[in-house]
Chains A and B, each alone.
Chain A
């Protein structure tokens, strides 16, 4: 048993956790952003898939993974806009709309996968994102091994969390977003365009989550496969709750989930592995556990999930 622990918690596992955390963390931050603006974002799963597919498709066509990343962001913004259209303009229940979006994107990406490349399972391999090796960082012992060489999106994520925190809690835009999520009437009465701000926030969140998708397809691997998000969007939402609607908290919670994922992958490489299926359950079970423990103590934005009447205010798209 102790051997197993050593294998599991070696530096490689932690490095893998960092890599695996990136899509969840980006999606979780996207969840934080939109939920701070009062919109429940169940649609993160769909945004991950949209981003993953768009990234691979555009890279496949152009050969340039960076264009793929841009395309992923555009696709994510589009999906964010779609969620806004239904959840804000058409006043759909946020949760139902989010699930609808996830099923739509699951179907659409799977369909397009076949339309574009024929096969049903995976796309052909494309150029993946480069691995950056940060000069000074990589020479520091341990830290260098952990942080030295990753996809650019991993570094982006580590920087995005504090940056997003700063935006949310220290800038006028962030104050307005929080005001809307807590009390849209109050925001309206001081002249803040509630719905327009929500749309913009949802688009930004969409772009962020889709970057997570790009990391899944172009950062970790170099292809798209059917339903490759595998529930990470929902985990991200749980991470957001566990992280108390705080971008930094979201990142840390995502790291926890990813560590479990990295550990389960590592366990499967052990000489006498535990049954693969049982080990693969770990991240899912952990998500349930963490969510159940976290919600009672949490305090979500007060107006989360509410519609704000678009009959007045600058809301109509």
Chain B
């Protein structure tokens, strides 16, 4: 518990014994944290460790159940973000707090609008934005609509929003999760500049590499508890990993070499449009063989969701062909695909993968609930359902009751339920989308090993993930998507992270051609929709 103290600066923020409970879940259990003035302090922990909760308490979004907050040595009560801002605390949220439909300027001035004659003074707003943007090299167009910005640009707007409120303590919640490696570098440059400018930065992450790369000190949280605080220079990634998880973790999965078999999933020049009629997929051609994992890399919002939906039968294709297990689905929609042996782990379990208020028994048979053995002549067969779903729970070590609503399961167990359900019927083709998003390390390990088992059993797996580490660990081959087209493809071990990052940003690495191949034809960029989580 020793806090490294020989620093010259006094603590600017002290959290003492913070407690917070959500229903039965203890999110923060007496957490202490001291952040020194002018440092970059990493808050490290795996999903569910209580990092975001702690920072949302500091930002006034959640009232703590107990504990004390001191800012600049003074005890304070932060009841709302307004209070936090008054204390000079700002926060860049993981899910951007931006409105797609409004302009950058409107987003930036809301809450402290410049006024002239009772009306919004946008001229003054633009000027203030440009000044602040120039100072930190955060280029944005004040009159652009947020929906037209890339994810990286949106993050710049988020940072500007905090800066324009004159904060000197800036919390960044998992800021790198959605960025390309190059964008991450750019973010770190901005953060260092902010530090040089005297600002204090608190940086939430679960990525060791980033922690080691540039934080001054690091605090590890686990299960809502404070594990320890160290100077980053005094620790190692292995130590931190063990602190995070509470046991030794193997950071790499074993992926035995395997010769791929027949092509089981084939897309031939597939195009699709989104709900607003904008083209989102353009002539995508790819194939996945038996025993192979093909990873799809790309910044979110570059057509991955449409690709998922098109393969799953949830979005019509405007041209092209899809073959699953050698056949074109005769029946439109998900039923026809399932009949051909497709399993689909959807990218958003709560939007799509589960009907959370319904019991686990019903969620465990979703997608096959009308057919034997679960139903006969339209009548549900309860004994068959219960024994099947009971088996799923046992096999995947899912903690939950059969008759409880799926919403009562933890995120990790919900995801395991979805994966268990989808892998239960010996699928030939598996569409695995963000299969481990937002789940704890135990569940990640479990899901990864299950996917590799299926690979070994000869399934063809298409893996769509925003997590580069996951893609690099699991995939045999990778393709990179940019603005709805495939811009690069090749064996996974031929890509470096840096190259991947450039491809993902729509650039062409200088020496890439020889190793990973650039996809043959590229198209002019379609209008881009922002991926802000509105």
Contact = CB atoms under 8 A, between A and B. Distances in A.
Contacts of B79: 312
7 contacts: A176-B111, A179-B102, A182-B100, A183-B97, A190-B97, A302-B100, A314-B80
B120 A302 contact: no
Interface string A178-210: 110011011111111000000000000000000
A171 B113 CA distance: 9
Interface string B30-74: 000000000000000000000000000001111100000000000
Nearest to A185: B97
B97 A178 contact: no
A172 B115 contact: yes
A170 B119 contact: yes
What are the 7 tightest A-B residue pairs by CB atom distance, in nearest-first order?
A190-B111, A191-B82, A186-B97, A172-B113, A182-B99, A302-B534, A183-B99
B101 to A, nearest CB: 6
A313 interface: yes
Contact of B61 (A170, A192, A312): A312
A175 interface: yes
Nearest to A187: B110
B297 interface: no
B221 interface: no
A192 to B, nearest CB: 5
Contacts, number: 80
A183 B102 CA distance: 11
Nearest to A178: B102
B91 interface: yes
Contacts of A175: 102, 106, 109-110, 113, 120
A160 B127 CA distance: 32
A189 B534 contact: no
A172 B122 CA distance: 11
B61 A183 contact: no
Given A183-B99, A183-B534, A312-B63, A188 B81 contact: yes
A190 B120 CA distance: 17
A189 B120 contact: no
Contacts of A313: 80
B161 interface: yes
Interface string A135-174: 0000000000000000000000000000000100011100
B102 A189 contact: no
B393 interface: no
Interface in B81-116: 81-82, 85, 91, 93, 97-102, 106-107, 109-113, 115
A176 B106 CA distance: 10
Contacts of A185: 93, 97
Nearest to B92: A189
Contacts of B115: 171-172
Interface residues of A, number: 24
A312 B80 contact: yes
- Classify the secondary structure of B's interface with A: loop
B106 A312 contact: no
A192 B534 contact: no
Nearest to B60: A312
Contacts of B23: none
B24 interface: no
Q: Which residue, A170, A172, A176, A314, has most C-beta atoms of chain B within 10 A? A: A172
B118 interface: yes
B103 to A, nearest CB: 11
Chain B interface: which size bin? 20 to 34
Contacts of B63: 311-312
Contacts of B97: 183, 185-186, 189-190
A171 B122 CA distance: 10
B61 A188 contact: yes
Contacts of B93: 185, 189
B86 to A, nearest CB: 9
A186 B80 contact: no
A170 B117 CA distance: 11
A191 B161 CA distance: 12
A179 B146 CA distance: 13
B110 A171 contact: no
A182 B106 CA distance: 13
Contacts of A314: 80
A170 B116 CA distance: 11
A113 to B, nearest CB: 42
A176 B80 contact: no
B161 A190 contact: yes
B91 A182 contact: no
B244 to A, nearest CB: 28
Contacts of A178: 99, 102
Contact of B85 (A191, A299, A311): A191
Nearest to B61: A312
A186 B146 CA distance: 13
A190 B100 contact: no
Nearest to A311: B63
Interface in B123-148: none
A189 B161 CA distance: 10
Interface in B165-224: 165
B98 A189 contact: no
A176 B120 CA distance: 11
A222 to B, nearest CB: 38
A182 B93 CA distance: 17
B91 A189 contact: yes
Nearest to A169: B120
B81 A186 contact: no
A172 B63 CA distance: 28
B120 A171 contact: yes
Contacts of B111: 176, 187, 190-192
A233 B425 CA distance: 52
Contact of A170 (B60, B80, B82, B120): B120
Contacts of A187: 110-111
Contacts of A299: 101
A186 B82 CA distance: 12
A168 to B, nearest CB: 11
A302 B93 CA distance: 19
Contacts of B113: 172, 175
Interface in B209-248: none
